[in-house]
């Protein structure tokens, strides 16, 4: 077992080497060949994503780096989707970055390092490696938010993000140290072993405390109530491309972190952390949805919508175990995984539209900036319409399939009232999503400037919109894919 | 029979595919072509539904034209389609009404024509899907998806207060259907499948049945709409463009009533019997109270909207007396109301296109300038009042007969609809059409053109034909309604 198994970590190794090579190439040429490098980066990310996805399902769970690193189907699937999400961000965001003076080598380097951080998080089988991944991701994001040096709001957002993110990291680290104290190990499988012993004997206080801090740290990273305060401010202040970097792919890594820490490591303590997650989910659904209604800023509204959506995802995650019965675990976690993946898909499209609509000296900020989009660019408006109905969970969009899976997981464990609560807040959510549709379709444009978008951006946005509807009509393959991945992870 | 051609799939996906094409290729510069293409699409979509009637076997209550493909196997959800006597006419009606909608919009809709036509074609396919789904999840997907085009239709091409109406329509109906979703998932977790026929046989306790019945009631009562959750309908009707009102009244309201037949009654038969008194009371309130409300309306569209609610109250009344005659009458009433309310809204549309007012007081003496139109309008108003020899009479008469058999007093109360119906329909007709020419607007009115004449003429023929010879409808219904009532009579406890 104690082998290096370097070949398992090929995606990470390749990405790290590529990022370094990119940095050298860009600095040697002083940014002259950046447009070409940009294309190479995009192609590399797509290639990496396809490479990871093509390997699923793998034969089984394998470990590397003396058990610090885990490779299984779930890891590969999430890495693959993350890489594709990053490629999407770069394609759609290229024009935006140029207009906003962000199209520099640094941006690409930071983007590549966020991806590396996510991949490390996804494959970590060791508390320290989790932390390493989190920090690599977060530090790159802080810098990406602050890239426009003379933009006061972005700098403020970056500061806020940094301070609160550091606090969250502190929580996480503190929790990890307690878990280490209680179990004597940083390795997830050893922790799981020690936890089983702890449950059969007297539960140690320090163990429970450790879980509390871990969950708090995770909640910060996910941005769920009551650890959500940073989300709206950072979303609003950041340039849209940085917002997308924060709100898109990292949600997949956050889901992986939940799986690795809570399920791989602390599955026997499910009763304890499920109750904590339930409080977070219930509060997120209520506060996220109700506060989103009052927003006039588009990005703030989307931030609160994210909070609510993450709360909904947690509902799936917390219905894995009832009493001693773990029969629903695979269904529950795969519903959360499906939810996360499809959420990222819709978020990419939403911010993609926002970026395409922005131009030099003009940033889409208020909901009213979308006025009359159907007149100005019917194609964009239609995509946004599909995305909004998907977020609201209206069939046949994919958001409905995702919500259906979560509700099914909830009802399978007999939590009928939680399901009713969740659908009632979906109704509240529907209000602000269809308000966006109203703004685009029912109101006359106040700004007639032509919307310019590249053919590549047009194509990927089209693919995104199509994916939202096709995955909604035929969700079975992706569901089966998530199910296989989760079953393998649970078995390993 | 021609079982190899998937007529139901064609009836669903052809209009949707045409709609998407028209939306993708059409714009306001080639509006003429868009209109032609939309009409052609609607006609083709209608033609593919005809084999459903001509190939229909009236001797069986089994589902016919069945299609079944695996969809989401993990849930036991399948792409299952099929029609029986309860649904086949609604499939055809949906496709037929779409043609009228396209024709009615011909010169009237000048902005975003392609999107308008596409919305209605897609909506038509989705509604056919609702009527032909034999899988609960598929039903729900179609049922909910209809909200999207309708929201757009009301919001984009509607009247001055359209945004309020569109929101109210969307959120109201969503509120109802979300709880239904929970009930559907619950049924799936009990039975392991989404197949509706399997749910019919699923044994359920009384409490379960009542909760499930109420969850379904939330969705279907809002959609029908039943008193007291009807308030979205007058707003939506008034603000919607003519085509939107026609589709709403003629078909969308039937989705709810159809849901009672397909879900509530057979899945929760004991709860249906238990709550029958409650349902009958709500229905009678709709018939009488809403009938009185319709009487005092100043806006023509609002008046017809309230009259729709009263007529639909008649339908739910017919269902929950569990009488063969009454249930058949209620379904006939649904079909007839599809023609009559559609025709009423088209008539109001014809006036509105010329004068741009829906106020009754803005008219008077229309017969002097539009004699042909006045004749059509009279026929439809009579049908709305339930005059013999029109389609409106058949259903109402059957329901009243059933009601008298069930309970004399209920029958008596239900029969008041003939009085109220005549009062509000004919009084409105009198104020709008008869008398002296009221103002310059009316003086300058031009009579219906060829397009409008054909449109209203076709509907007039249908209304008369159904009133004089309802056999094609009752034949199709007979066996299916019997089977349904036998099923509902058996306790699941």
Over residues A318-357, the pLDDT tens digits come to 888 877 777 788 889 999 999 999 999 999 999 999 988 8
Does residue B132 contact residue B83 with C-beta atoms inside 8 Å? Answer: yes
When scoring A371, A399, A422, A438 by the number of chain B Cβ atoms within 10 A, the one with the most, hence best to mutate, is A438
CB contact under 8 Å between B179 and A423, yes or no, is yes
Does residue B117 contact residue B26 with C-beta atoms inside 8 Å? Answer: yes
CB contact under 8 Å between B166 and A416, yes or no, is no
Predicted pLDDT at A3: 67
- Give tens-digit pLDDT for A363-390: 888 888 888 888 888 888 999 999 999 9
Which residue's structure tokens are 């229909």?
B56
Q: Give the percent of chain B with pLDDT over 90.
A: 22
- Give tens-digit pLDDT for B233-278: 988 888 888 888 999 888 999 999 999 999 999 999 999 988 999 9
Does residue B295 contact residue B427 with C-beta atoms inside 8 Å? Answer: yes
| Residue A122 pLDDT exceeds 90 | yes
Predicted pLDDT at A6: 81
CA distances B45 to A325, A465, B23, B36, B170, Å, are 51, 27, 17, 14, 27
Does residue A429 contact residue A292 with C-beta atoms inside 8 Å? Answer: yes
Question: Which residues in B have their CB inside 8 Å of a CB on A?
Answer: 23, 70-75, 112, 115, 137, 140-141, 144-145, 147-148, 151-152, 155-156, 162-163, 166-167, 170-171, 174-175, 178-179, 181-182, 185-186, 188-189
Predicted pLDDT at A198: 72
Give chain A's largest Cα–Cα span: 70
B301 closest CA partner among B362, B252, B251, B255: B362
- Mind telling me how many Å the CA of A476 is from chain B's nearest CA? 5
| Residues whose CB falls within 8 Å of the CB of residue A367, separated by 6 or more in sequence, listed in order | A295, A296, A297, A298, A301, A435, A436, A439
Does residue B49 contact residue B92 with C-beta atoms inside 8 Å? Answer: yes
Higher pLDDT, B2 or A7: A7
Does residue A420 contact residue B179 with C-beta atoms inside 8 Å? Answer: yes
Question: Which residues in A have their CB inside 8 Å of a CB on B?
Answer: 374, 378, 382, 385, 389, 394-396, 400, 404, 407-408, 411-412, 416, 419-420, 423-424, 426-427, 430-431, 434-435, 437-438, 441-442, 474-476, 479-480, 483
Q: Give the percent of chain A with pLDDT over 90.
A: 47
Quick one: tokens of B17? 């595919």
pLDDT band at B2 (very low <50, low <70, confident <90, very high): very low
Cα B20 from chain centroid (whole Å): 24
| Residues whose CB falls within 8 Å of the CB of residue A363, separated by 6 or more in sequence, listed in order | A100, A239, A240
Q: Which of A16-30, A46-60, A284-298, B5-19 has the lowest mean pLDDT?
A: A46-60
- Give tens-digit pLDDT for A281-309: 999 999 999 999 999 999 999 999 999 99
B77-83 and B64-72 strand pairing: antiparallel
Q: Which of A220-224, A453-457, B193-197 has the lowest mean pLDDT?
A: A453-457
C-alpha to C-alpha distance for B159 and A40, rounded to whole angstroms: 52
Q: Is B11 exposed, middle or buried (CB count within 10 Å of its CB: 0-12, 13-18, 19+)?
A: buried
CA distances B122 to B16, B21, B163, B167, B452, Å, are 4, 11, 21, 20, 24
- Give tens-digit pLDDT for B198-215: 888 888 888 889 999 999
Predicted pLDDT at A206: 83
| Residue A200 pLDDT exceeds 60 | yes
| Calculated CA dihedral for residues A465, A469, A474, A479, nearest 10 degrees | 60
C-alpha to C-alpha distance for B393 and B384, rounded to whole angstroms: 9
C-alpha to C-alpha distance for B143 and B139, rounded to whole angstroms: 6
CB contact under 8 Å between B74 and A423, yes or no, is no
C-alpha to C-alpha distance for A12 and B243, rounded to whole angstroms: 58
Which residues in chain A are contacts of B166 at CB distance < 8 A? 438, 442
Predicted pLDDT at A2: 53
Q: Which range scores top for mean pLDDT: A32-36, A49-53, B433-437?
A: A49-53
| Residues whose CB falls within 8 Å of the CB of residue B168, separated by 6 or more in sequence, listed in order | B231, B232, B235, B236
Radius of gyration over alpha carbons of chain B, in Å?
A: 21
Mean of the pLDDT values across residues B285-303? 89
C-alpha to C-alpha distance for B47 and B95, rounded to whole angstroms: 8
A475 → chain B, closest CA residue: B72
Higher pLDDT, A359 or A460: A460
Does residue B234 contact residue B300 with C-beta atoms inside 8 Å? Answer: no
Does residue B326 contact residue B272 with C-beta atoms inside 8 Å? Answer: no
Quick one: tokens of B281? 């009371």
Quick one: tokens of A92? 């759609």
pLDDT band at A204 (very low <50, low <70, confident <90, very high): confident
Does residue A210 contact residue A178 with C-beta atoms inside 8 Å? Answer: yes
Predicted pLDDT at A1: 47
C-alpha to C-alpha distance for A142 and A139, rounded to whole angstroms: 5
CA atoms within 13 A on the CB side of A226: 2
| Residue B3 pLDDT exceeds 70 | no
Angle CA B363–B365–B368, to nearest 5: 130
A414 closest CA partner among B260, B185, B36: B185
C-alpha to C-alpha distance for B480 and B146, rounded to whole angstroms: 26
The DSSP element (H or E) to which A326 belongs, if any, is: none
Predicted pLDDT at A201: 63
Which residues in chain B are contacts of A312 at CB distance < 8 A? none
C-alpha to C-alpha distance for B459 and B343, rounded to whole angstroms: 7
B257 closest CA partner among B210, B188, B308: B308
In total, the C-beta contacts within 8 angstroms joining chain A to chain B are: 87
Predicted pLDDT at A272: 82
A431 → chain B, closest CA residue: B171
| Residues whose CB falls within 8 Å of the CB of residue B333, separated by 6 or more in sequence, listed in order | B311, B314, B315, B318, B392, B395, B396, B398, B399
Q: What is the mean pLDDT of chain A?
A: 88
Predicted pLDDT at B1: 44
| Residues whose CB falls within 8 Å of the CB of residue A446, separated by 6 or more in sequence, listed in order | A368, A371, A372
| Residue B303 pLDDT exceeds 50 | yes
Does residue A261 contact residue A214 with C-beta atoms inside 8 Å? Answer: yes
Quick one: tokens of B125? 């396919």
Give the Cβ contact number of residue B412 at 10 Å: 12
């Amino acid at each position: 077992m104690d082998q290096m198994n370097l070949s398992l970590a090929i995606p990470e190794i390749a990405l790290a080497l590529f990022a370094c090579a990119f940095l050298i190439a860009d600095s040697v040429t002083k940014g002259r060949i950046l447009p070409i490098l940009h294309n190479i980066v995009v192609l590399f990310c797509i290639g990496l994503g396809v490479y990871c996805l093509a390997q699923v399902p793998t034969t089984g769970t394998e470990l590397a780096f003396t058990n610090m690193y885990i490779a299984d189907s779930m890891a590969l699937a999430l890495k693959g989707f993350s890489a594709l999400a990053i490629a999407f961000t770069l394609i759609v965001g290229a024009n935006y970055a140029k207009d906003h003076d962000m199209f520099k080598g640094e941006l690409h380097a930071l983007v590549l390092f966020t991806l590396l951080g996510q991949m490390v998080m996804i494959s970590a089988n060791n508390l320290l490696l989790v932390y390493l991944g989190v920090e690599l991701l977060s530090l790159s994001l802080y810098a990406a938010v602050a890239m426009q040096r003379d933009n006061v709001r972005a700098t403020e957002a970056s500061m806020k993000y940094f301070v609160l993110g550091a606090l969250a990291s502190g929580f996480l680290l503190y929790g990890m140290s307690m878990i280490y104290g209680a179990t004597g190990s940083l390795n997830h499988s050893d922790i799981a072993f020690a936890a089983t012993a702890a449950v059969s004997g007297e539960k140690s206080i320090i163990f429970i405390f450790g879980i509390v801090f871990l969950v708090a740290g995770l909640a910060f990273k996910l941005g769920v109530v009551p650890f959500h305060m940073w989300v709206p401010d950072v979303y609003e202040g950041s340039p849209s491309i940085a917002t997308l970097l924060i709100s898109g792919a990292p949600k997949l890594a956050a889901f992986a972190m939940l799986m690795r820490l809570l399920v791989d490591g602390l599955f026997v303590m499910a009763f304890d952390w499920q109750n904590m997650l339930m409080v977070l989910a219930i509060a997120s659904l209520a506060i996220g949805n109700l506060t989103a209604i009052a927003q006039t800023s588009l990005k703030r509204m989307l931030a609160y919508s994210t909070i609510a959506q993450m709360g909904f995802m947690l509902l799936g995650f917390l219905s894995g175990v009832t009493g001693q019965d773990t029969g629903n675990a695979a269904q529950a976690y795969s519903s959360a995984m499906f939810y996360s993946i499809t959420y990222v898909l819709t978020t990419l499209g939403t911010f993609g539209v926002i970026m395409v609509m922005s131009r030099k000296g003009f940033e889409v900020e208020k909901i009213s900036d979308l006025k009359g989009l159907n007149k100005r660019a019917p194609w964009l408006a239609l995509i946004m319409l599909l995305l909004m109905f998907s977020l609201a969970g209206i069939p046949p969009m994919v958001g409905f399939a995702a919500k259906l899976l979560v509700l099914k997981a909830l009802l399978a464990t007999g939590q009928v009232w939680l399901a009713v609560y969740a659908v009632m807040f979906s109704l509240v959510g529907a209000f602000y999503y269809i308000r966006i549709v109203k703004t685009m379709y029912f109101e006359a444009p106040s700004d007639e400037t032509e919307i310019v978008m590249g053919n590549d951006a047009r194509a990927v946005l089209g693919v995104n919109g199509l994916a939202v509807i096709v995955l909604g009509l035929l969700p079975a393959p992706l569901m089966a894919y998530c199910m296989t991945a989760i079953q393998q992870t649970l078995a390993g | 029979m021609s079982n190899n051609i998937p007529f139901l799939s064609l009836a669903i996906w052809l209009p949707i595919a045409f709609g998407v094409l028209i939306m993708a290729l059409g714009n306001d510069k080639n509006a003429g072509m868009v209109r032609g293409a939309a009409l052609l699409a609607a006609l083709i979509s209608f033609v593919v539904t005809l084999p459903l009637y001509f190939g229909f076997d009236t001797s069986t209550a089994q589902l016919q034209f069945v299609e079944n493909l695996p969809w989401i196997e993990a849930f036991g959800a399948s792409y299952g389609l099929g029609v029986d006597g309860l649904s086949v006419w609604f499939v055809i009606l949906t496709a037929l009404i779409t043609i009228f909608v396209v024709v009615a919009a011909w010169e009237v809709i000048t902005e975003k024509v392609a999107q308008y036509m596409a919305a209605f074609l897609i909506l038509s396919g989705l509604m056919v899907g609702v009527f032909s789904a034999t899988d609960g999840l598929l039903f729900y997907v179609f049922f909910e998806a209809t909200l999207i085009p309708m929201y757009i239709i009301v919001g984009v091409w509607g009247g001055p207060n359209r945004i309020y109406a569109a929101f109210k329509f969307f959120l109201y109906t969503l509120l109802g259907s979300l709880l239904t979703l929970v009930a559907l998932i619950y049924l799936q977790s009990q039975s392991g499948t989404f197949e509706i026929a399997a749910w019919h046989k699923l044994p359920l306790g009384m409490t379960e049945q009542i909760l499930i019945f109420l969850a379904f009631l939330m969705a279907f009562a809002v959609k029908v709409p039943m008193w007291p959750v009807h308030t979205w309908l007058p707003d939506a009707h008034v603000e919607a463009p003519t085509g939107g009102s026609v589709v709403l009244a003629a078909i969308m309201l039937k989705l709810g009533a159809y849901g009672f037949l397909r879900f509530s009654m057979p899945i929760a038969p004991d709860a249906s019997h238990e709550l029958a008194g409650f349902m009958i009371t709500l229905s009678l309130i709709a018939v009488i109270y809403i009938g009185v409300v319709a009487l005092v309306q100043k806006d023509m569209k609002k008046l017809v909207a309230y009259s729709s609610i009263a007529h639909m109250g008649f339908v739910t009344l017919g269902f929950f007396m569990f009488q063969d005659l009454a249930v058949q009458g209620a379904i006939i009433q649904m079909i007839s109301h599809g023609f009559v309310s559609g025709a009423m809204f088209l008539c109001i549309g014809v006036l509105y296109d010329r004068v741009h007012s829906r106020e009754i007081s803005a008219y008077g003496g229309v017969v002097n300038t539009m004699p042909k139109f006045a004749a059509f309008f009279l026929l439809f108003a009579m049908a709305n009042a339930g005059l013999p020899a029109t389609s409106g009479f058949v259903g109402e008469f059957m329901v009243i007969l059933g009601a008298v058999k069930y309970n004399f007093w209920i029958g008596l109360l239900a029969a008041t609809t003939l009085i109220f119906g005549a009062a509000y329909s004919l009084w409105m007709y009198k104020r709008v059409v008869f008398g002296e020419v009221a103002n310059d607007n009316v003086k300058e009115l031009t009579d219906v053109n060829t397009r409008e004449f054909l449109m209203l003429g076709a509907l007039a023929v249908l209304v008369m034909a159904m009133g004089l010879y309802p056999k094609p409808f009752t034949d199709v219904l007979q066996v299916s309604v019997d089977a349904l009532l036998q099923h509902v009579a058996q306790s699941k406890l």
